Amino acid sequence: MLLLHRAVVLRLQQACRLKSIPSRICIQACSTNDSFQPQRPSLTFSGDNSSTQGWRVMGTLLGLGAVLAYQDHRCRAAQESTHIYTKEEVSSHTSPETGIWVTLGSEVFDVTEFVDLHPGGPSKLMLAAGGPLEPFWALYAVHNQSHVRELLAQYKIGELNPEDKVAPTVETSDPYADDPVRHPALKVNSQRPFNAEPPPELLTENYITPNPIFFTRNHLPVPNLDPDTYRLHVVGAPGGQSLSLSLDDLHNFPRYEITVTLQCAGNRRSEMTQVKEVKGLEWRTGAISTARWAGARLCDVLAQAGHQLCETEAHVCFEGLDSDPTGTAYGASIPLARAMDPEAEVLLAYEMNGQPLPRDHGFPVRVVVPGVVGARHVKWLGRVSVQPEESYSHWQRRD
């Protein structure tokens, strides 16, 4: 009896692992076949308890039969409940009215209820509506994490037709193909976008961090900008004049130098995770570096565009020239009071440790805001404006 029980349990475990294959296979897996013929136990017993023991054996066999029947029912139900969709059906679901469907591999998901909750904003997720997620996850590699896949699994509604299981076509022009070459000593936390930190033994060798091993925090592909055609657009104040500044124009402003340490808000997150899981890149101790920056003071540039301190709330909003497929640029802001304060020494920097900014660090111009988290030091700066509220950028308000 124990031999039969162990054999049947083994078959049940195998059947559970094969629950996604057709029900006829499940039935075969859940039952004994010709290759497994255990010796049948006799129901003839001797002694006063023979009748009781016989009924116990019969009850056990009936129970096992019920388990086998239930497992077969589950196998059939799983097979019948898996909806199969064609790519054409998926492509017709691209709006809240029809439902918003996406695919990942061979799986189909209805993400209609999640669109407004998407951390990157609804517009990003809508790019994949009716089609595969892979091309966009290739751009935003942060999605390839277990908690993201677990969240997505809640919205699964079926599978793609096997005839439609063709690998999604990613654009032939890889948005990261033109990223710069990086120093091999950097410890990489993500390749796309590139995020890396120096090992502590190199970071602590010098107070000023050498440019090649300065920690890198990118949110999008690195733009390759021509310094000769580069222009920084500064929106003028009411009654003032907007500016379109070339790199030479910025060099004509008084030049200031300041030593500033930058740190990512996620520095040492890997240690936080040891106490309680938190989302984001698993930075160790190296998302912090120090450099000698040189450039024009932001307050001087804003003054030339007619801006001055005001009694009402105001913020200086920065937009980078790095952007996603929708054209949305990385952005952030700081209070106007800090930007206009000469003592705050906010720079529009074009040099780093006596050299032009490296591409990974904002060439040709970036913002440097001493004493403020690194996310506000916008790189590849393309536009500056003064607004009554902080930047509406996803990275300012939601990230």
pLDDT digits (tens, 9 = 90+) for 111-168: 999 999 998 788 778 888 999 998 777 666 678 788 899 999 999 999 999 887 655 5
Contact partners, residue 341, CB within 8 Å, separation at least 6: 299
Distance CA 295, CA 349 (A): 4
- Helix axes 2-17 and 23-30, enclosed angle (nearest 10): 160
Element (H, E) at 2: helix 2-17
Query: Could you give the C-alpha distances from 256 to 251, 343, 389, in angstroms and in order?
Result: 10, 12, 29
Give the range among 138-147, 202-211, 277-286, 331-340 with minimum mean pLDDT: 138-147
pLDDT at position 120 is: 77
Any idea what the Cα angle at residue 157 is, between residues 153 and 162, rounded to 5°?
Answer: 100
Fold annotation for 79-164:
Flavocytochrome B2; Chain A, domain 1 (3.10.120)
pLDDT value, residue 69: 54
Highest average pLDDT, of 38-52, 174-188, 348-362, comes from 348-362
CATH number of 222-396: 3.90.420.10
Express as a percent the part of the chain with pLDDT over 90: 65
Query: What's the distance, Cα to Cα, between the start and end of the chain in Å?
Result: 60
Whether 374 shows a pLDDT value over 80: the answer reads yes
Distance CA(280)–CA(269), nearest Å, equals 8
Quickly count: other Cβ atoms within 10 Å of residue 204's Cβ.
12
pLDDT for 124 equals: 77
Domain ranges within the chain, ordered by starting residue: 79-164, 222-396
Over residues 268-274, the mean pLDDT reads 95
Mind listing the pLDDT tens digit for each residue in 188-227?
Answer: 999 999 999 999 999 999 999 999 999 999 999 999 999 9
Please answer whether residues 213 and 203 qualify as being in contact, where contact means their C-beta atoms are separated by less than 8 angstroms: yes
